Amino acid sequence: MAGFVVHKSDGTDRMFKPSKKGLFFSDVKRGNEHVLVHTVDSIKNTYTVKQYSDTHKARTIQDIIGQSSTKDYIRYVENNMLPNCPITKDDIIRAEEILGPNLGSLKGKTTRAKPSRVIIGPYNQLPTDILEKYGDITRAVDIMYINKITFVMTTSRAIHFGMAKIIKNEKNIDNNDSPKTGN
């Protein structure tokens, strides 16, 4: 069965299989795996209409005062530093819960963490039955235009592995613009 496996950091694996229309999916109905997604609507429905409205007021005011951090914003409201401010600390906390963090207040204040080093382990030889069956690969190649950007598209027959490579200069295509294989 064609597909791919995602190895998660907790040591478990998740298998993705193609649907009849070619879109890959992971079956979460089996076993005790659960995927929970909280949407704004599902969280919003736990509050009254006024509380939700005050949440948007809180976020709008946060944007107006310069997108300060939530901690500073709460301090401004609690110390009455914003005269005639119609919101409370609870409205600010609800805004964080319903709408998530204010992205404008995060920009420029977050630092990039150094990524962990990728260690490439020893390569395992392919099993001989796979090499015998798929040792000679035939690739179909075509040029595709997406929003006036040129790509070389390839797909390998039998194993159905697709690749795409942008073409920077269509008039000067050389071997460096063709997609590379693992061989």
Nearest-angstrom CA–CA distance, 133 and 182: 17
Nearest-angstrom CA–CA distance, 90 and 50: 12
Going by their DSSP bridges, the two strands 139-146 and 24-25 should be labelled as: unpaired
Q: Which residues contact 109 (CB under 8 A, 6 or more apart)?
A: 69
Residue-wise pLDDT tens digits, 68-100: 888 888 999 999 998 888 999 999 999 988 888
pTM of the model: 0.41
Nearest-angstrom CA–CA distance, 35 and 60: 32
**What CA–CA distances, in Å, run from 65 to 72, 93, 124, 155?**
11, 17, 58, 53
Residue-wise pLDDT tens digits, 138-165: 888 998 888 888 889 999 877 788 889 9
